Structure 1
Amino acid sequence: MSYTLSFKPAIDLYGQHDPSAALFKDSELRFAIEEERLTRDKHAVDTFPEQAIRACLEYEGIELADIEKIVLPYDPKLRRKITPHYLKNTSQLEGTLRKVTHLRNVVRDQFVASVMPTRIVESRLQRIGTPVPPIECRSHHECHAVSAFHPSTFEEALVVTIDAKGEYDSTVVWHATPDGLTRVRTYEHPNSWGLFYAAITNYLGYRMFNGEGKVMGLAPYGEDNPEIERRLRKTIDTGVDYDVTALTGRWGTEHGVAALEELFGRPRSTDTDEFDQFEKDLAHTAQKLLEESVTEMVGTYVDRVGTGNVGLAGGVALNCKLNKAVREHPAVDEVFVQPVAHDAGLALGGGWIDRSPSEVDPMTTVYWGHEYATAEIRELLETNKIEYAEPDDLERRVAERIADGALVGWFQGRSELGPRALGNRSILADPRTEASRDRVNRFVKHREEWRPFAPSMIESAADEYLENATTSPFMIDTFDVRPDRRDDLRAVVHPADDTTRAQTVREDQNPRYYRLLREFKDVTGVPVLLNTSFNDHGEPIVDTPTEALKDFFGMGLDVLVLEDCLVEKSGSSDALP
């Protein structure tokens, strides 16, 4: 037995966002968590994952010295391949001082990356324990690719990793076999779909690496707009040989936003509560061009490597409508999307990268974080003089309250890794009415009212509700809803295109959540719940019972479940005595 610690820093040469840590015993994933869950700072920008590392060690009851090796999912030495790009950008800067400063930073970073790439990481680890175990640096995109292939059920696959930038690469096509991963094609930075979509996101008033999902959700409200499409196609090339560098030619998005302002003759958006038709059509067109290029890429290389299995990872793979387009491509047989597709998932790939795919169990859940016993929760409630009950029929009682219109905070089991709450740190509501959706948006999530929600459903019922249904335990794929079932799912069907981002649930994956879905079906005839993440607007998903209580009393929730304990606000229907 040996321990491997893999973590993604968000400092210095290792990226700027979504740090995480994962602990492995041989090939078995034991614990994993994102730093943002512990710092309570969304995306934990420019942060070393010290708390996440400590949480990994505490879970297993070991010290840093017990770790055999540490894997970092970045190889700073590969940055040399991008140095010419940074040097070329010098001439585009205004002012001698800015040029000199830029050149100095490029030279410094290249020196550190070549001579002492792990120095800053070693110094941070010394705060946690000594001696510091041996550190290995591995390719960013290879770690993404491992995370999309090793925990899949595929013997062989085409893997596509798509994000803003690794060390020097933005999109990589891989051929994955039991013997390992082979690069088939590399699209180098700044030719980046991740940065293209980030520029569109910023132009529409959101922040890059934070608002891309909102732009994806806005896209179906738009329509084909020949003029927008003509101007974008004149600026960029799509398809398997895509080139988006006219908008992504420099790191960051300011260049791209300025180019879009000039291209369309209108400034970037500042209001995200409402969008005009141009803005909706731009989101629609950006999504269309992304899907067009990636599906053409997949179709081309599926044919070339000779397998219809496809794995996807990288931040762009969080785009569930893109994943639907890939899944529905006629050349594709099966798709596995790494549920922690963004940079936080790099820690998973880092932990498995030196393992044979056959040693890694198929991924069926992402419940790898903290868990709290009922006794601990009971003590917390009693210390704070909060009334609670422990009903024997907890799931039945909660199902009846949801059917009566209650909004429920649901906290149980180990916390999820990744951006989706999958029944352990969730807010739940009745999926059958638009009023339910609007209440959650307005009074609980405090977010734009046009944004849709997603459902959890019993897996065996998926064919009844979804077109071309497949097992979907991670809420990272989108499906068309069957016309005869849309009235049952009004709160979780996208109003503009009748799709939904479904999670399917089996009893063996999450017994208590499955029981709740079964009880809701018994009460209403519908084996589905509206499920959104347990957090207020702009904050990470809750991790502890204390955080759940804070949000419960600060949001428009009616009921809170903390393991076996049930809390209801006074004045709500059927409140505790």
Structure 2
Amino acid sequence: MSYHLAFKPAIDLYGQHDPSAALFDDGELVFAVEEERLTREKHAVDTFPERAIRACLEYEGIGLTDVEKIVLPYDPSLRSNILGHYLKNTRQLDSTLRKVSHLQNVARDQFMARFMPTRIVESRLERIDTPVPPIECRSHHECHAVTAFHPSTFEEALVVTIDAKGEYESTVVWHATPGGLERVRTYEHPNSWGLFYAAVTNYLGYRMYNGEGKVMGLAPYGEDNPAIERRLREAIETGVDYDVTSLTGRWGTEHGVDTLEELLGRPPSEPTGEFDQFEKDLAHTAQKLLEESVAELVETYARRLGTSNVGLAGGVVLNCKLNKAVRELPAVDDVFVQPVAHDAGLALGGGWIDQRPADVEPMTTAYWGPEYDSDEIRTLLETNKVAYSEPNDLERQVAELIADGALVGWFQGRAELGPRALGNRSILADPRTEASRDRVNRFVKHREEWRPFAPSMHESAAETYLENATESPFMIDTFDVSQEHRDDLEAIVHPADDTTRPQTVREEQNPRYYRLLEEFENVTGVPVLLNTSFNDNGEPIVNTPTEALKDFYGMGLDVLVLEDCLVTKPASSNTPPARAGETVLADD
């Protein structure tokens, strides 16, 4: 066996958020997990992924010394490409002391990046074991690009990677062939759509790197607003030669927020979660400008490179509305969007970067994290005197409960990697009524009631319920819901534009979840479930049975499924609860 470990730190020279680790055995991905799932801190900001690294090693029962090579998907030496940007920003500081301090930090970082780029990582790894294996640093955006091509089914493709910032890039265009990746064009930081959208997110009262998805969900409630659009277009350039540096040219998003306040003539929004029409129109316009520019870029380079296949990665392409705009372009026939598109996915790219694209298996699931067997779960429930049953027809019973209005926590198999719950760490509900959507928002997720939910459905049903349906196993793309079925799926249709972000499921991808969908269809005639991530507002997706049990009692859920075990709250159970620790087998 030849083990390679790839991980993305979120400290010092390596970025600030979404650390993760992935373990590869003879080039095959065997385990991957995000640090946030283990620390329970959303995005695990400014964190070294020690827990994730230990989890990788424990999964295979090896030590750090059994690892042949470590790959970091970030090359600090490339930071020197934007040294001028760091020095330019020094002049904008408001005191000599701050300028001197900043210059000292820049000098330190440049020295470390050039002469000791891995020293801080080595020192942290030494806490786990010694000697530390050899460490290689690889380009941030190239690792993103690898994840958008190598696990696709494409022989050739245009690949576009878009985020806030790698070492020095914000957007990169690649030509991907069986021989690998060729860089075609680089848009350097701070000319960044990721930072542009983050500034709008902050202006609207949400946090960058956390609230962008909410702004995307808000955008369809807005309308074309000529005044907002004119002011933004006066400040930035869109299209293939875009330039958004009037908002992104300084550190962070503070300058962008101040610029928006001046442009739009009103102060930033308070974080209330409620928006007037102006704020909805701003979200709509920001989304429109993003889609317009990326679509033009993709259209231009797809034709120039002579390929109709497109691969996408980088945090910006978590924007599923953007992915729909790309998929529907005349020049595009097929799109692969890396489901772990944000920085947590870099560990995958680090593990695959030295392999030939053809040697990487196509990515059909994202179930790479920890799992827990039923014996562990029984012990947990019995120790805590939690009544449970183990029905022989678990999927049928849960389907009937959901059809009767129950809100279900569904915990099974290996945890998903990435921001979407795909039927292993999910909250499930009836997709057929607005009341179901509102109950999940209000009593379970404790979030804004205008926010939509996504569905899981049999892949074979997608053509019935979706317009221009394609395989979509990762909830990373958006489709129009067929007009004749919109009233049948009120809980998972975006109220403002009649779209949805589906997960299509084949039996071999997730047999138990497929059976649950099948049983729900047998009960209701609809092979679709509302599926949202199993977590409360502001916390990462649950990782362990203990966390699932805690959230079950802390949220407005009615039923909890932990592998083979079914737990109900007495007030909402349709069957008499078992005694604590008693196993009840339902009739066949």
TM-score (norm 1): 1.00
Output the amino acid matched with 2:411: F
Conserved? CA contact 2:415–2:424, under 8 Å:
yes
Residue 269 of structure 1 corresponds to: 269
Q: Deviations over 1:99-137 (max 9, x none)?
A: 111111111100110010000000000001111000000
Partner of 1:172: 172
SS of the aligned residue for 1:420 comes to coil
- Retained in 1: the 8 A contact 2:407–2:428? yes
Query: Residue 26 of structure 1: CA displacement?
Result: 1.7
SS in 2 for 1:296: helix
Alpha-carbon shift at residue 27 of structure 1 (Å): 1.7
Per-residue deviation at 1:487? 1.1
Please give the residue correspondences for 1:42-441 in structure 2 after superposition, counting only pairs within 5 Å: 42-441=42-441
Q: Distance in 1 between matches of 2:239 and 2:265?
A: 26
Whole-angstrom CA distance in 1 between matches of 2:307 and 2:62: 42
- CA distance in structure 2 between the aligned counterparts of 1:560 and 1:445, rounded to whole angstroms: 15
Q: CA deviation at 1:507?
A: 0.3
TM superposition shift of 1:93: 1.2
Output the amino acid matched with 1:57.
Answer: L
How many Å apart are 1:265 and its aligned residue? 1.1
Cα offset, 1:223, TM superposition: 0.2
- Counterpart CA distance in 1 for 2:575 and 2:172 is 55
Q: What runs of 5+ residues in structure 1 fail to find an aligned partner?
A: none
Give CA deviations for 1:409-434 in whole Å, capped at 9, x if unaligned: 00000000000000000000000000
2:390·2:566 contact (CA, 8 Å) conserved in 1? yes
Aligned to 1:310, what secondary structure does the other structure show? strand
SS at match of 1:491: helix
State the Cα deviation string for residues 421-449 of structure 1 (Å, max 9, x = none).
00000000000000000000000000011
**Matches of 1:409 and 1:420 in 2, distance apart?**
15
Question: Equivalents in 2 of 1:180, 1:473: separation in Å?
Answer: 25
- Mapped to 2, the partners of 1:77 and 1:488 lie a distance apart of 55
Structure 1 counterpart of 2:585 = none
The separation in 1 between residues aligned to 2:549 and 2:294, in whole angstroms, is: 43
> Using the alignment, how far apart are the partners of 1:416 and 1:82 within structure 2?
36
User: Cα distance, 1:251 vs. partner?
Assistant: 2.1
Structure 1 counterpart of 2:183, one-letter code = R
Is contact 1:388–1:576 with CA below 8 Å preserved after alignment?
A: no
Deviation at 1:273, TM superposition (A): 2.3
SS at the partner of 2:159? Answer: strand
Q: Which amino acid aligns with 1:262?
A: E
- Contact 2:16–2:45, Cα closer than 8 Å, also in 1: yes
3-state SS in 1 of match to 2:332: coil
SS where residue 553 of structure 2 aligns? Answer: helix
Amino acid of the structure 2 residue aligned with 1:152: S
Separation in 1 of the partners of 2:404 and 2:61?
A: 44
C-alpha deviation, 1:573, in angstroms:
3.6
User: Which AA in structure 1 matches 2:28?
Assistant: E
CA distance in structure 2 between the aligned counterparts of 1:460 and 1:373, rounded to whole angstroms: 30
Kept in 2: contact 1:567–1:576 (CA 8 A): no
| CA positional deviation for 1:97 | 0.8
Match of 2:581 in 1: none
Q: CA deviation at 1:90?
A: 1.1
Aligned amino acid, residue 208 of structure 1: M
Cα pair 1:33 1:368 within 8 Å, conserved: yes
Shift of residue 295, structure 1, vs aligned partner:
0.4
Output the CA distance in 2 between the equivalents of 1:370 and 1:97: 48
Letter in 2 for 1:224: D
Distance in structure 2 (CA, Å) of the matches to 1:330 and 1:141: 27
Contact kept, 8 Å, 1:412 with 1:563, in 2: the verdict is: yes
Cα distance in 2 for residues equivalent to 1:120 and 1:98: 25
CA RMSD of aligned residues (A): 0.6
Indicate the SS of the match to 1:82. Answer: helix
Give % identity: 83
Task: Say whether 1:29 aligns with 2:29.
Answer: yes
1:457–1:529 contact (8 Å) kept in structure 2: yes
The Cα shift of 1:271 comes to 3.2
2:347 and 2:509 map into 1 onto residues whose CA distance is 22
Alignment partner, residue 484 of structure 2: 484
In structure 2, the residue matched to 1:527 is 527
In 2, the alpha carbon distance for the partners of 1:352 and 1:154 equals: 16
* 4+ residue runs over 4 A deviation: none
Give the corresponding residue for 1:539: 539
Q: Which string of whole-angstrom CA distances, capped at 9 and with x for unpartnered residues, describes residues 130-152 of structure 1? A: 11000000000000000100000
Contact 1:426/1:532 (<8 A) preserved: yes
Post-superposition shift, 1:92?
Answer: 1.2
Q: Which amino acid aligns with 1:308?
A: S
**Distance in structure 1 (CA, Å) of the matches to 2:169 and 2:551:** 40
Distance in structure 2 (CA, Å) of the matches to 1:576 and 1:227: 61
1:297 CA drift (Å): 0.2
The reply on whether 1:460 has 2:450 as its aligned counterpart is no
Whole-Å separation in 2 of the counterparts to 1:235 and 1:215: 20
Partner Cα distance (1:26, 1:282) in 2: 49
Quote how far apart the aligned CAs of 1:488 are.
1.2
Whole-angstrom distance in 1 between the partners of 2:569 and 2:267:
46
Q: Aligned partner of 1:480: which letter?
A: D
CA contact (8 A) 1:387 1:576 kept: no
Residue identity opposite 1:313 in structure 2? A
What letter matches 2:207 in structure 1?
R
Letter of the aligned partner of 1:373 in structure 2? D
Equivalent residue, structure 2, for 1:502: 502
Instruction: Please identify, of 216-225 and 92-101, the stretch whose mean Cα deviation from structure 2 is larger.
Output: 92-101
Deviations 1:152-185 (A, max 9, x none): 0000000000000000000000000111110000
Q: Is the Cα contact below 8 Å between 2:206 and 2:271 reproduced in 1? A: no
The offset of 1:272, in angstroms, is 3.2
Q: Distance in 1 between matches of 2:279 and 2:26?
A: 49
Deviation track 1:315-368 (CA, whole Å, cap 9, x = no partner) reads: 001000000000000100100000000000000000000000111000000000
Instruction: Please list the CA deviations of residues 61-85 of structure 1 after superposition, one character each: whole Å capped at 9, or x if unmatched.
Output: 1000000100000000001101111
Under a length normalisation based on structure 2, what TM-score does the superposition of the two structures give?
A: 0.98
How far apart, CA to CA, are the structure 2 residues paired with 1:353 and 1:272? Answer: 43
One-letter amino acid of the counterpart of residue 281, structure 1:
D
Q: Give yes or no for contact 1:455–1:529 (8 Å, CA) kept in 2.
A: yes
Contact kept? 1:427, 1:531, Cα under 8 Å: yes
**Cα distance in 2 between the residues matched to 1:429 and 1:561:** 13
Q: Tell me, which stretches of 5 or more residues in structure 2 are unaligned?
A: 578-588
Q: Name 2:586's counterpart in structure 1.
A: none
Distance 1:24 1:517 in 2: 32
Q: Distance in 2 between matches of 1:274 and 1:358?
A: 48
C-alpha distance in 1 between matches for 2:26 and 2:247: 44
> By how many angstroms is 1:401 displaced?
0.3
Letter in 1 for 2:464: E
The reply on whether 1:562 has 2:556 as its aligned counterpart is no
